[in-house]
Structure 1
């Protein structure tokens, strides 16, 4: 699990272990689009996964050539997932 989403994976696990299966399933279902988006491949993970982490951690992200460059749509999706993840498990 990438650093940008590990806290939600832990949240899902804790819900499940505490017997809150419905809450665990809901939290997992809510985080899955962000996971699927960033884990489409190694290049996509490095491009958008690190941006998701940076957005959530409040740190700037810089690319190094020959890295995959983000598209405007990819950046918009990353920012949307970062906003959505703020509301999960908190």
Structure 2
């Protein structure tokens, strides 16, 4: 599965960089394929391992505040690996 998710601390003001950095650290230390941009982090793996990383990221943000907002979108497709990069490559191939 591939997920795109965002975890935002609520109630700590505009500067959320420390909390977000802690969440992204959890993602990167997971060893799963991942990419982070200004809005979302994408993560690829099996259901249980991906959801464990999401929980860890939420817990990392919760260490900064008692309230967290999360957005999560998932593409669940059995038997597919490396879809996170393969999908983009296919679109780029068609654009060329």
Confirm or deny a common fold (TM above 0.5).
no
TM-score by length of 1: 0.27
Q: Determine which structure has more spread, i.e. the larger CA radius of gyration.
A: 2
TM-score by length of 2: 0.26
Higher strand share: 2
